[in-house]
Amino acid sequence: MIVRLEKNGETQMTEFLVTHFIKNHEAVEKVSVRTAYGVLASVVGIFCNVFLFGMKLILGLVLHSVSVTADAFNNLSDAGSSIISFIGVKMAEKPADEEHPFGHGRMEYIAALIVAFLVMEVGFTFLKDSFSKIWHPETLHFQAISIAILLLSIGVKLWLGVFNRKLGGKIQSKVMMAVFADSMGDVITTSATILSLIVYGLTGVNIDAFVGLGVALVVMWAGFSIAKDTLEPLIGEAVDPEIYEKIKKYVEKNEGIVGTHDLIVHNYGPNRSMASIHAEVPNDVNIETSHEIIDRIEREAMEELGIFLVIHMDPIETKDQQVLMIRGQVEELLKKLDPDSSIHDLRVVNGEEQINIIFDMVVPFRYSDEVKERLQYELIDGLQKIDPRYQCVITVEHSYVSAQEAETPKMGLHAANKTD
C-alpha cells in the first residue's frame, strides 16, 4: 500500500509538472515540445541537487562533519550533469544552418555521452576509495542525524531518477536516461553507505569497503552501458525493424506503389531522421503520374512521420507472365535455401539459346564471403535444374536492418523487369 501511494504521488507530481510547464505536451514528435521536456528535466535536476547541496552544507558546517560536507559538494557536481543535459537539449534545438544542413540534433547524444563518462568517473572514484579502505580501514561513526540525511538524499534522488526515466522514455531521450542512471548510482551508493552504518552499529563489523567495491562496479557498468548505447547512433547503427516496417508500410500503402527495397535511415538526432528508399512502380504507367505519387509521399512523410524521405523510383514489369513465373521460381527457391535473404530488381533477357536472369540479392550483414558465395552457387544450381537455359547475374547487397530483432523476410510474388 505504501509503495502504491508513493508511486501514485510520483506520477501525480510528474503529470503536474508536465501539464503546467510544457505546452502541447502530447506532441512529443515536435522538436519544440521535445526541447521543453529536456529543459524541464534539467531544471528540476538542478533544483533538486542544489537543494541537497545547501541542506547538507549547512548541516555539515553546524555538525562539523567532514563527510556530510563532502557529500554536499558531491550533489553540487551532480547538478553539473543536469546543466550539461540542459545545454545539450538547447543546442540540439538549434535549426539547420549552412555548416550543419541536417541540424544539431546529435548534440543531445554528445551530452548523454558526457554524462555517461561522469557516471563512470563516480564509479571509478568509489572503486579507488573502496580499495583504499580495504588496505587502510577507517572507523565508522554511527549517528542518527547522518542516517536521516542519507535517507532524505535517497528519497530525492530516487524521485529525480524515476522522473527522468519517465520523461526520457516518453521522448526517447538518451541524455535523460543517462541522468536517470546517474541518479540511480547515487541511490545505490548512498544505500550501501546506510547498510554499512547499520551493520556496523548492530554488529561492530565494518563492511563499508567491500560493499563499496561491489557498488562501484555496478555504477561503472551502468555508465559504460549508457556510453555504448549513446555511441551507436553517433557511429551509425542498423535500422530498427519497427522503423523499417513503419516506413515500408507507409510507402507501400499508396496506390501505384508495387513494392519497396533498399531502405536506408540516417539518424541526425532524436526525431531527426533522413531516409532513402526505392519504390517499385508499374512500368506501363505514365512516368509523370508515378512521379507525382512519389512527390506526394515524400511531402506527407515529413508531416506524418517526421522523416525527410527521399524516394528513388524503379519502374518494373507487372504483367509479363514469363517474368512473373521466373520471379516466383527464384523467390521460392531462395526461401528454401535461406529465409533471411530476399531479391529485388529482377530482369529477364531472352537470348537464342539461354535466358539471362539479372537481379539483386539482399543478405544479412553478418554473412561472410564464403556464405554468400555458397548461397549464390546453390541458388544458380537450383534454378538450372528447373531450366538449363537459366543463366544468372546476381549482385549481392547487405541488409541495413538490425539483424538481432529483424523478422524473417516475407517472400511474396513481387513484380519484376523484363528486357527483350
**Can you spell out the DSSP letters for 205-244?**
---HHHHHHHHHHHHHHHHHHHHHHHHHHHH--PBPHHHH
What per-residue confidence (pLDDT) applies to 28?
Answer: 75
Q: What are the CA-CA distances from residue 319 to residues 264, 287, 288, 316, 415 (Å)?
A: 29, 17, 20, 9, 8
Q: Along the 420 residues of the chain, how does pLDDT read in single tens digits?
A: 434 434 455 677 888 888 877 887 777 777 788 888 888 989 999 999 899 888 878 876 776 655 566 667 777 777 887 888 888 888 888 888 888 888 888 888 888 888 888 878 877 887 887 788 778 776 666 667 777 878 888 899 999 999 999 988 888 888 888 888 878 877 887 787 778 777 777 777 777 777 778 777 877 887 888 888 888 888 888 788 888 888 999 999 999 999 899 898 888 887 778 899 999 999 888 989 999 999 999 999 888 887 889 999 988 888 889 999 999 999 999 999 999 999 998 989 998 889 999 999 999 988 999 999 999 999 999 999 999 999 999 999 988 887 654 343 333 333 344 444
Give the end-to-end CA distance of the chain in Å, rounded to a whole number.
76
The answer to whether the beta carbons of residues 245 and 219 sit under 8 Å apart is: no
Q: If we measure between CA atoms, which residue out of 186, 165, 184 comes closest to residue 174?
A: 165
Q: If we measure between CA atoms, which residue out of 130, 133, 37, 122 comes closest to residue 85?
A: 37
Spatial separation of the C-alpha atoms in residues 172 and 181, rounded to whole Å: 15
The answer to whether the beta carbons of residues 268 and 105 sit under 8 Å apart is: yes
Q: Which helix (H) or strand (E) holds 312?
A: strand 307-316
What per-residue confidence (pLDDT) applies to 63?
Answer: 60
C-alpha cell at 360: 539483386
Please provide residue 339's backbone torsions phi and psi, each rounded to the nearest 5 degrees.
-65, -15
Spatial separation of the C-alpha atoms in residues 264 and 274, rounded to whole Å: 8
Spatial separation of the C-alpha atoms in residues 177 and 157, rounded to whole Å: 14
What per-residue confidence (pLDDT) applies to 311?
Answer: 94
The answer to whether the beta carbons of residues 216 and 160 sit under 8 Å apart is: no
Q: What domains can you pick out in the chain, each with its CATH number?
A: 2-234 (1.20.1510.10), 236-316 (3.30.70.1350), 317-420 (3.30.70.1350)
- Are β-strands 259-267 and 273-282 bridged in parallel, bridged antiparallel, or unpaired? antiparallel
What per-residue confidence (pLDDT) applies to 403?
Answer: 63
DSSP state of 397: E
